[in-house]
Amino acid sequence: MLDNTLIETSLSSLDSNKAQDILNLDIQKISTYADNIIIASATSSRHAKSLLDKLVLDIKSKDIDIIGIEGKAESGWVLVDCGDLVIHIMQKDIREFYDLEGLWGGDTLVESRP
């Protein structure tokens, strides 16, 4: 079961560091690998790197383990695996191309931050 501290820490970190179009999706009923997914847009690879670095610091400051980080900010998409929560930081064009929110469906939306 997912700890709400992790979700709130992640959402707050992304929001305070100016991530765009932040979505929290509840995928418990349709996925076996995670309970929630957070998707956020970065304006550039430098912004993605900054979001990633601050997010990792904020999560670790709450003594929460990060299982792994996949991808590089320079590629336009980086994934932070926290077990029951997976966080995607994507540049806008990459996000539009892969359309993860469309893949998971509209019924999964828990929270949206502009």
Higher pLDDT, 103 or 2: 103
Higher pLDDT, 31 or 106: 31
The residue to which tokens 């179009």 are assigned: 21
**Letter for the amino acid at 40?**
A
3-state class (DSSP) for residue 13? helix
SS3 content of the chain, % helix, strand, coil (to 5): 40, 30, 30
Residues 6+ apart with CB under 8 A from 89: 14, 19, 40, 41, 42, 48, 51, 52, 55, 73, 77, 78, 79, 80
CATH number of the CATH domain containing 8: 3.30.460.10
Range of the domain at 65: 4-113
Give the chain's domain count. Answer: 1
Res 112: pLDDT: 63
Res 48: pLDDT: 97
Res 78: pLDDT: 98
Tokens of 15: 């929001």
Given pLDDT bands bounded at 50, 70 and 90, which one contains residue 62?
very high
Given pLDDT bands bounded at 50, 70 and 90, which one contains residue 58?
very high
Res 102: pLDDT: 87
